[in-house]
């Protein structure tokens, strides 16, 4: 082939690419659509979530004067320290009760299947169709002096029924009843994914049913235990209606303290500081969970 001869004065070919063409306008608009779709939801979150929390935070250090006196008061006055400790202790007790009661139910739902699992799942789901306020008032009737518990106690010839209503027991029982479905569904979601062949393999190796459950099924179900415990514990931290209707003033929780400071004392600054402490405690619990388990595993 004959060599290519370059004309005199001609510009030599360059290896650099030519000028880049501008992206079509339709492409630029398409790339902006996701951001436009996120705009309304982001605005709602900022207006209804970020702004109120920021206002409460500012109010806690500015009302009635600038400083951290409210936070110092929370952690130095024995009464308020008792409220904090009681809130966390009650949440732990309710979480433990939900776990003890919910694990066997979730186990039967996941392992039996068929009509038994369907019936149990329907019963658990039906609790979400009834508001927690209605369920709380139901306990007022059940545990009342003229309720079925008192009637059964007298019918057995045991004399006058003990005081069950407006006690720590009734408040804990009501919160456990309301939060139990969350624990059951969190456990069920994880247990349902456990392959039954794992237990069959353990049995084929000579493990008895109890040993197979302890060494195989229980460890595989631990993510559900952690998920359900987190949901119940965090929800119980902010409970208000049930402790007010079923509990006693000496078992006051943080939400009740906030309501008292606002409605009775008009202490907006101190109430805001208590709310910030509650939010920080909840965030700490979620952060610890995220550190060791990951929030992406919360819903299975």
Q: What angle do CA 236, 238, 242 make, to 5 degrees?
A: 70
pLDDT, one tens digit per residue, over 53-100 is: 999 999 999 988 888 999 999 989 998 999 999 999 999 999 999 999
Which one of 94-103, 145-154, 242-251, 289-298 scores highest in mean pLDDT? 94-103
- In order of 139, 151, 152, 175, the CA distances from 148 in angstroms are 11, 5, 6, 20
pLDDT band at 25 (very low <50, low <70, confident <90, very high): low
pLDDT, one tens digit per residue, over 11-22 is: 555 555 555 545
- The structural domains of the chain, ordered by start, are 50-294 (1.10.3720.10)
Are the C-beta atoms of residues 243 and 251 closer than 8 Å to each other?
Answer: yes
pLDDT band at 126 (very low <50, low <70, confident <90, very high): confident
Which one of 21-30, 75-84, 156-165, 287-296 scores highest in mean pLDDT? 75-84
Least confident range from 14-28, 69-83, 128-142, 185-199: namely: 14-28
The pTM (predicted TM-score) of the whole model is 0.81
Q: Compute CA 264 distance to the chain's CA centroid, rounded to the nearest angstrom.
A: 30
- Say what the pLDDT of residue 298 is: 57
- Say what the pLDDT of residue 30 is: 67
DSSP string, 57-113: HHHHHHSSSSSSHHHHHHHHSHHHHHHHHHHHHHHHHHHHHHHHHHHHHHHHHHHH-
Instruction: Provide the terminal-to-terminal Cα distance of the chain, rounded to the nearest Å.
Output: 69
- Say what the pLDDT of residue 1 is: 46
Are the C-beta atoms of residues 169 and 279 closer than 8 Å to each other?
Answer: no
Mean pLDDT confidence for 177-193 = 91
- Is the confidence at residue 4, as pLDDT, over 60? no
Mean pLDDT confidence for 167-173 = 90
- Is the confidence at residue 213, as pLDDT, over 80? yes
CA gap 110, 105 in Å, rounded: 9
- Is the confidence at residue 9, as pLDDT, over 70? no
């Amino acid at each position: 082939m004959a060599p290519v001869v370059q004309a005199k004065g001609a510009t030599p070919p360059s290896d650099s690419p030519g000028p880049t063409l501008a992206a079509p306008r339709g492409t630029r608009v398409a790339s902006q659509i996701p951001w436009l779709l996120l705009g309304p939801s982001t605005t709602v979150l900022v207006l209804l979530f970020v702004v109120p929390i920021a206002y409460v935070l500012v109010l806690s250090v500015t009302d009635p004067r600038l400083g951290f006196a409210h936070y110092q008061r929370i952690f130095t006055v024995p009464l308020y320290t008792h409220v904090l400790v009681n809130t966390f202790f009650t949440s732990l007790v309710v979480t433990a009760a939900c776990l003890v009661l919910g694990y066997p139910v979730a186990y039967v739902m996941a392992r039996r299947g068929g009509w038994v699992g369907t019936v149990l799942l329907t019963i658990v789901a039906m609790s979400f169709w009834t508001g927690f306020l209605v369920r709380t008032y139901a306990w007022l009737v059940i545990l009342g002096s003229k309720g079925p518990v008192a009637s059964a106690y007298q019918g057995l010839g045991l004399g006058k029924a003990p005081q069950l209503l407006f006690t720590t027991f009734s408040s804990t029982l009501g919160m456990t009843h309301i939060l139990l479905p969350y624990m059951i569904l969190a456990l069920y979601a994880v247990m349902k994914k456990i392959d039954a062949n794992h237990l069959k393999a353990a049995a084929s190796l000579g493990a008895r049913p109890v040993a197979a459950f302890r060494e195989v099924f229980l460890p595989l179900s631990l993510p559900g235990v952690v998920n359900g415990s987190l949901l119940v514990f965090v929800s119980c931290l902010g409970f208000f209606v049930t402790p007010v209707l079923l509990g006693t003033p000496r078992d006051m929780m943080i939400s009740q303290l906030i309501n008292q400071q606002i409605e009775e004392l008009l202490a907006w600054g101190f109430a805001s500081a208590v709310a910030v402490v509650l939010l920080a405690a909840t965030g700490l619990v979620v952060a610890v969970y995220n550190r060791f388990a990951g929030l992406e595993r919360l819903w299975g």
